[in-house]
Amino acid sequence: MAAFDPSPVRPSPVRGARTTRPVGTVTRGTTNTNRLRRMDRWITHTMARTLRTAARPPVAVDLGYGAAPWTAVELATRLRAVRPDVRVVGIEIEPARVAAALPYADPPRLSFRRGGFEVPLDGGAAQLIRAANVLRQYDEETVGTVWERLCGRLAPDGLLVEGTCDEIGRRHVWVALGPEGPRTVTFAARLADLQAPSDLAERLPKALIHHNVPGRPVHAFLSDFDRAWASAAPYAAFGARQRWIAACTALAGSWPLVDARGRWRQGEATVDWAALAP
């Protein structure tokens, strides 16, 4: 990753004072309810212990929530099932989107503010930063710098989840990062609509999507996943879920999957980042 200045950039609270422009550019802002349900389900499972044991109310950030605040509202609801006093901050670079979201605010449990990759918070660090469908429009060369900047805003046990999904949340791929950098890649799908695991290739995060070519690790992984899926075709008689589980079981023999049957049942497969890294 490229080096960056880890100090947070915050707008001045003084009226008329010189302010710092948020870091980043405006996204398309496509937002649908339940679009990020699969990602949120994984987050609440993965971070449950961390959130419950936090000494103070943990802070979660929905970065680039889009033209409507639904994803931030849903994230707050889902995280409260794990930690009732969690504080969710929706951050958008477009002022009009922040203004439109304010009627849905419920401070301190849910708030909205203008900002970008500098992640402006009132103080401290974030336990979670979720950046879904944000980096898709950027050049691949910028991803490392953005990741490092966002990881610099995490608490020591915090998590950054950055990835892409389709418009109605049927197919997701995301990278999970700690303060030290990327850890895992998760593939998640509505299995009833899946023809093959490689259907998820079009939702690869920016860091990986241009590397889905022969000879590169992510292409080899998806090719092996497709072969395991094809070999598991007899399990389709028991449903797509059983076929996915059988495919993941076979895949785990040659790739470092870090989850197990309990998550595979959810239509997920998580692999160590090092195995797919460009």
Pairwise CA distance, residues 201 & 222, whole Å: 8
Structure confidence at residue 26 as a pLDDT band (50, 70, 90): confident
Q: Does any domain span residue 144?
A: yes
CA dihedral 102, 107, 108, 113 (to 10 degrees): 20
Total domains present in the chain: 2
Structure confidence at residue 97 as a pLDDT band (50, 70, 90): very high
Same domain, 45 and 161: yes
What is the model's pLDDT at position 4?
31
What is the model's pLDDT at position 17?
32
- Which domain CATH number covers 141? 3.40.50.150
pLDDT in tens, 213-251: 999 999 999 999 999 999 999 999 999 999 999 999 999
| Domain finish residue from 152, 179, 206 | 179
Same domain, 103 and 145: yes
Same domain, 42 and 148: yes
Kindly give the interhelix angle for 37-53 and 70-80, rounded to the nearest 10 degrees: 40
* pTM listed for this prediction: 0.91
- DSSP string computed for 80-131: HTT-TT-EEEEEES-HHHHHHHGGG-BTTTEEEEE--TT---SSS-EEEEEE
Residue 73, SS3?
Answer: helix
Pairwise CA distance, residues 208 & 225, whole Å: 16
14 has a pLDDT exceeding 60: no
- Give residue for tokens 């889905």: 212
**Residue numbers of the domain that contains 205:** 191-278
Same domain, 106 and 226: no
Q: Does any domain span residue 186?
A: no
| Domain finish residue from 130, 153, 179 | 179
Nearest residue to 54 via CA among 155, 180, 169, 191: 155
Q: If you average pLDDT over every residue of the chain, what do you get? A: 92
Same domain, 170 and 207: no
175 has a pLDDT exceeding 60: yes
Average pLDDT, integer, range 107-135: 95
Q: Does any domain span residue 127?
A: yes
Same domain, 210 and 234: yes
261 contacts 254 by C-beta, under 8 angstroms? no
